[in-house]
Homo-oligomer: A and B are copies of this chain.
């Protein structure tokens, strides 16, 4: 079977959606409490320079513009219709768009899928009209879209209100209007400038993934911000994420609907599927999307990413006059995997020469109070340069803390000179965001130094930069298809003969057949012999062995007494065969018994590898430690299949119990490379069989010092 190329949307061509030459407002109104009134007013208020065409047969004129009875009467160039009409009129207006040659519509109002069966029918009618006339739709049930740079406010409600957003390089796609606008406003208050802001509502046509794609293509978008509750097609989202990663445009995601209560709350307000959060997290990681925990973290990260500097490692230098801030930073650094690394000797010597006599010149550097002053500022410059020149340092954190305006302005002036000479990120912590310090802080920001209001938040932002830089490095080494949907380097691992041997139609492969399938892809399996029912044994085995009943009707053999482990010799073997057969007959009298499998016992750490078919993401590989203890802590790692060895290694590293692989209490360490190789191969197998595989379980995969061996397997085909 050759690797299939999955269908994909064509590259988005949404430029006219964001830069329309003219905008019609269907349902325009003079009433500022109505959507059609707010949209009309917002277009006028924000300096949009294209044509504004109110459409409403009841008025000859609105807000100084000629009002049109219908879309057909518009005589200027018009690329976008803002639809502020009751749901029942929307399918008709979309048809009008098509006939008038208006390629885009933003449908603001609700009353569609989210409102029940009648609304769902209207949404379907609207979509059919859109498809028939090649009209692309944002919404319905949304606040609309904004192009801040061009003053395009195809929107109503809170998103159109003062204060006006500052223009900048961040474009946002938001699966909630109210919360999404709150997110954007908070970021703006922190100093983030925006390019496009799109609320997607029901996503009947244009999806979050397509809009991310459009932002990737938009030259003036540098950072992408997404609020997501769920997506119907996870692979398309990942593909958009990968393209953004390749283009060097970081994607920040705030994801909701991740817990039982969160899913219930999300389901009650939109029709978005939320799916399994572990799978989303894995998907975000795999395509380099950056998850943020809260609004202020989105703002922090957007500011820091907008500076456009990325580190080449996880070592940071700290300098400041506040030892407490360094301690607070360091705790977070420890948690997020940053290292406050030692300096090379040259750096320390420079610091000792540059800083005041009582300064502490290790990392973190503490120069004490009253520094820099106008007379000592050259020392400050010299110290900054030394830290940035240290080959073992990848980022610099300046702990300004509560230093006064004089010191901050002095430092900012110097840093403006220093930063062009380095590509390393420089971040600052200052708590003094009230006047009169902000003049200095603004200078720092101007110089390319993002300023955040806590040392912990500086540490988290630095860790985010390092992790994102790692994802970029990984991505540049991986070969992905043009659509970013699958890695081109994955070879279908099941050879043709093994593929041909699979049963047609729904089937459950027993352990013997399941292990044969795994073995055909190169995954080590425990040696076994399938004996007929009634057999008393077999020669040539290496004891101890495991004895298991084989039946297509018994998926969980242990539960029926169908497994005997640690069988030590030929005598015990005969007894064990009798026992598992009798137990199976007693527990499941109707089951077909195909034989008894005798397999060599493998020793090592018991792990579990599984494949599940996620409704949004398709085949997903799960990996964890076996046994009751791991079950008790729910210690599993997930990745969307297929993936390479880097991701497999990262899965192993995510397990809380990973120390078991190091060989605790005198056990030999396990080969995590052998485990990783199995995970990669399982992911490739799952991708190859994605049209047929319902479930695959390797339980256990025994991890030993050299190999990782599948000691049992269950494969369910559909």
Name A residues whose Cβ lies closer than 8 Å to a Cβ of B.
33, 115, 157-159, 161-163, 175-183, 185-186, 189, 227, 229, 254, 256-262, 264-266, 268-270, 293-296, 320-331, 333-335, 339-340, 358, 360, 362, 364, 366, 369-370, 399, 401-404, 429-436, 453-457, 625, 627-633, 635, 656-660, 664-665
| Complex interface: chain B residues within 8 A of A183 (CB) | 431
CB pair B261 A324 closer than 8 Å: no
Residue of B157, B161, B257, B296 touching A454 (CB-CB under 8 A)? B296
Q: Are the CB atoms of B182 and A331 closer together than 8 Å?
A: no
Measured CB to CB, the closest approach of chain B to A259, in angstroms, equals: 3
Not counting A181-B431, A632-B656, a sample of 11 additional A-B residue pairs whose C-beta atoms are within 8 angstroms of each other reads A178-B323, A179-B325, A179-B328, A179-B401, A181-B402, A185-B434, A259-B331, A261-B334, A261-B339, A262-B333, A629-B660
B664 engages A456 (CB within 8 Å)? no
Residue from the list B296, B324, B664 in contact with A269, Cβ < 8 A: B324
* B632 near A664: Cβ-Cβ < 8 Å: yes
Given the contacts A629-B625, A635-B633, A656-B633, A178 and B327 also touching, CB distance less than 8 Å: no
Contact partners of A362 in chain B: CB under 8 A: 268
- Considering the complex of A and B, which 8 residue pairs feature the smallest CB-CB distances, nearest first? A269-B323, A176-B324, A178-B322, A179-B324, A182-B431, A629-B629, A259-B334, A262-B331
A331, B627: Cα distance in complex, Å:
29
Within the complex, what minimum Cβ distance (angstroms) separates A563 from chain B? 14
Give the chain B neighbours of A657 by CB distance below 8 A. 629, 632-633
Tell me if B256 and A331 are in contact (CB < 8 A).
Answer: yes
**Separation of A326 and B266 alpha carbons in the complex (Å):** 8
23 interchain pairs (CB within 8 A)? A158-B403, A161-B404, A176-B324, A178-B321, A179-B322, A179-B401, A181-B431, A182-B430, A182-B432, A183-B431, A185-B434, A186-B433, A229-B327, A256-B327, A256-B328, A256-B330, A257-B327, A262-B328, A266-B323, A295-B431, A625-B629, A632-B657, A633-B657
> Chain B contacts of A360 at CB under 8 A?
268-269
Bound state CA distance, A334 and B456, in angstroms? 24
Known: A33-B370, A360-B269, A454-B294. A261 touches B330 (CB 8 A): yes
Q: Which residues of B contact A296 (CB under 8 A)?
A: 296, 453-454
Beta-carbon nearest neighbor of A339 in chain B: B261
Cα distance A266–B331 in the bound complex, in angstroms: 10
Question: Does A628 lie within 8 Å of B660, measured CB to CB?
Answer: yes
Q: How far is the CB of A108 from chain B (nearest CB, A)?
A: 10
A323-B265, A327-B266 known; A295 and B454 CB under 8 Å? yes
Q: Does the CB pair A322–B182 fall under 8 Å?
A: yes
Partner of A664, one of B256, B270, B631: B631
Give A342 to B178 CA distance when docked, in angstroms: 24
Q: Which of B178, B430, B625, B656 contacts A325 (CB 8 A)?
A: B178
User: What's the least CB distance linking A229 to chain B, in Å?
Assistant: 6
A264's partner among B177, B330, B335 (CB-CB below 8 A) is B330
Contact B323 A268 (CB under 8 A): yes
Cβ–Cβ < 8 Å partners of A261 in chain B: 330-331, 333-334, 339-340
Most chain B Cβ neighbours within 10 Å, of A260, A324, A329, A364 = A324
- How far is B360's CA from A141's CA once the two chains are assembled, in angstroms? 16
Distance in angstroms from A372 CB to nearest chain B CB is 13
Contacts A189-B434, A657-B629, A660-B632: A456 and B293 contacting too (C-beta < 8 A)? Answer: yes
In the bound complex, residues from chain B placing their C-beta under 8 Å from that of A456 are 293-295
Q: Which residues of B contact A364 (CB under 8 A)?
A: 265, 268
A269 in contact with B327 given A163-B435, A294-B456, A660-B629 (CB within 8 Å): yes
Within the complex, the shortest CB–CB distance from A427 to chain B, in Å, comes to: 15
In the complex the two chains form, is A664's CB within 8 Å of B181's CB? no
Q: How far is the CA of A530 from the CA of B323 in the complex (A)?
A: 58
- Tell me, rounded to whole Å, the shortest Cβ–Cβ distance linking A394 to chain B: 16
Contacts of A182 in B (CB 8 A): 322, 325, 401-402, 429-432, 454
Nearest B residue (CB) for A370: B33
Known contacts A179-B455, A432-B185, A633-B633; A628/B324 CB under 8 A: no
Contact among B162, B327, B633 for A176, CB-based, below 8 A: B327
From A163, A326, A630, A659, residue with most partner B Cβ within 10 Å = A326
- Name which of A327, A635, A665 has the most chain B CB atoms within 10 A of its CB: A327
Contact at B268–A158, with CB atoms within 8 Å?
no
Q: Which residue of B lies closest to A455 (CB)?
A: B179
CB atoms of A324 and B632 under 8 A apart: no
A180 touching B293 in the complex, CB below 8 Å, given contacts A259-B335, A262-B331, A431-B185: no
> With the chains together, A64 CA to B313 CA distance in Å?
57
User: Which residues from B are CB-within-8-Å of A176?
Assistant: 322-325, 327
Whole-angstrom distance between the Cβ of A341 and the nearest chain B Cβ: 10
Which of A326, A328, A435, A635 has the largest count of B CB atoms less than 10 A from its CB?
A: A328
CB of B158 within 8 A of CB of A402, answer: yes
Chain B's closest residue to A264 (CB) is B330
Residues in B neighbouring A629, C-beta threshold 8 A: 625, 627, 629-630, 657, 660
What is the CB-to-nearest-CB distance from A30 to chain B, in angstroms, rounded to a whole number? 17
Task: Note all chain B residues with C-beta closer than 8 A to A660.
Answer: 628-629, 632
Residues of B within 8 A of A401 (CB): 158, 178-179, 181-182
Distance, CA A473 to CA B605, complexed state (A): 46
A306 vs B540: C-alpha distance when bound (angstroms): 79
| Distance, CA A360 to CA B116, complexed state (A) | 13
- A231 shortest CB reach to chain B, Å: 15
Which residues of chain B have C-beta atoms less than 8 A from A330's C-beta? Answer: 256, 259, 261-262, 264-266
